[in-house]
Amino acid sequence: MNKQEGNQYDKIVKENIESIIPALMNSVLGFKVVKAEVIKEKLQQTKEKEADALRIITDPSGQQFILHLEFQVDDYAKMAYRMADYWILLKSKYQLPVRQFVIFIGHGEPKMKTVLADDGNYFQFNLINITQFDYLRFLTSNNPEEIILAVLSDFGKEKPENALNQIIQRLSETKADQNSFQKHLRQLRVLSKLRRLDLKFDDMIQNMAKYIDEENDYLVISAKSKIVANLIKKGKHTLSEIADIASVTIDFVLGIQQKLTTDK
């Protein structure tokens, strides 16, 4: 995975984090929460450290603890050292119990160590692989930010393309407006790369007129641009024929042709 893709996943997490954390605490972590207070200030060390999510949690018995969440795409071998660093900063600053979870949203099974046992010291954090959870747990939500997590979850015996279609349908059912729906579709496509479903996603986008505004949605434009570019490269059709096949204008085809010539 390149740095640009990693930044895309981080951006999605940060955009949706306020909406998905309550669901994660309830559905994934199993916490009963009476109050969750956001910790906004950064942790001071030699340089500032900013965790993905920090909350002061109050449970039904009135007990408080710090909840620290990190969302990880890469299987980072030294994650335990990073989490231990956070633990020391949080413990010294707040003097409360600290519960730490790394939510792995990458591809495959993470191999990172969750325990440090060196020099007579012991440290451990909790590692949760989102792919271990049934996608229906997220699909049945009424929260779009939570629904898109279904693409990272376990599809069970369901075919990936069927599950992906269900997720898109569910996003359509819960959309607040067209702009937010298109934003969640863009996020879904980025996350679908982690499951290597982005090509299936692009295929589905071509048949989504009932869901989206085709003239303005960048996903449709992107998918049609790929079709046009491939047809031009094959050289078997006239520009007029390509426009008919892709349901675009001649000017659209000419624009793609010019871009292909420029990129050579």
Of the residues 67, 102, 132, which one is the last residue of a structural domain?
A: 132
- The residues pairing with 64 across neighbouring beta strands, listed in sequence order, are 58
Q: For strand 64-72 and strand 53-58, is the pairing parallel, antiparallel, or unpaired?
A: antiparallel
CATH code where residue 52 lies? 3.40.1350
Of the residues 77, 109, 132, which one is the last residue of a structural domain?
A: 132
Confidence of residue 223 (pLDDT cuts 50, 70, 90): low
115 shares its domain with 227: no
**Residue at 181 is within a domain:** no
**Residue at 77 is within a domain:** yes
Of the residues 132, 152, 187, which one is the last residue of a structural domain?
A: 132
Percentage of the chain modeled with pLDDT above 70: 86
**Residue at 171 is within a domain:** no
**Both tokens of residue 78?**
């030294």
Mean pLDDT (the chain, rounded) = 83
CB 144 within 8 A of CB 174: yes
Which domain does 247 fall in, by range? 214-264
Q: Which residue has the tokens 């409360």?
A: 96
Q: Encode pLDDT of 87-119 as tens digits.
A: 999 999 999 999 999 999 888 889 999 999 988
Residue range 46-72: mean pLDDT, rounded: 86
**Residue at 101 is within a domain:** yes
What local confidence, expressed as pLDDT, does residue 52 receive? 87
Confidence of residue 46 (pLDDT cuts 50, 70, 90): very low
Angle between helices 160-174 and 178-192 (to 10 degrees): 160
CB 44 within 8 A of CB 16: no
**Both tokens of residue 254?**
């000419």
Q: How many Å apart are CA 79 and CA 71, to the nearest integer?
A: 11
**Residue at 151 is within a domain:** no
Confidence of residue 75 (pLDDT cuts 50, 70, 90): very high
Instruction: Quote the Cα angle for 20-23-29, to 5°.
Output: 115
**Residue at 201 is within a domain:** no
9 shares its domain with 115: yes
What total number of domains does the chain contain? 2
pLDDT: is 221 or 147 the higher one? 147
**Residue at 149 is within a domain:** no
**Residue at 209 is within a domain:** no
Q: What's the per-residue H, E or C state across 5-17?
A: HHHHHHHHHHHHH
Q: For strand 98-104 and strand 64-72, is the pairing parallel, antiparallel, or unpaired?
A: parallel
End-to-end CA distance of the chain: 25
8-state DSSP, 66: E
21 shares its domain with 115: yes
pLDDT at 244 > cutoff 60:
yes
Q: Let me know how long the chain is.
A: 264
111 shares its domain with 14: yes
pTM attached to this predicted model: 0.67
126 shares its domain with 219: no
pLDDT: is 149 or 21 the higher one? 149
127 shares its domain with 219: no
Lowest mean pLDDT among 176-190, 195-209, 235-249: 195-209
Q: What is the torsional sign of CA 77, 191, 21, 155?
A: negative
Lowest mean pLDDT among 37-41, 59-63, 110-114: 37-41
CB 31 within 8 A of CB 25: yes
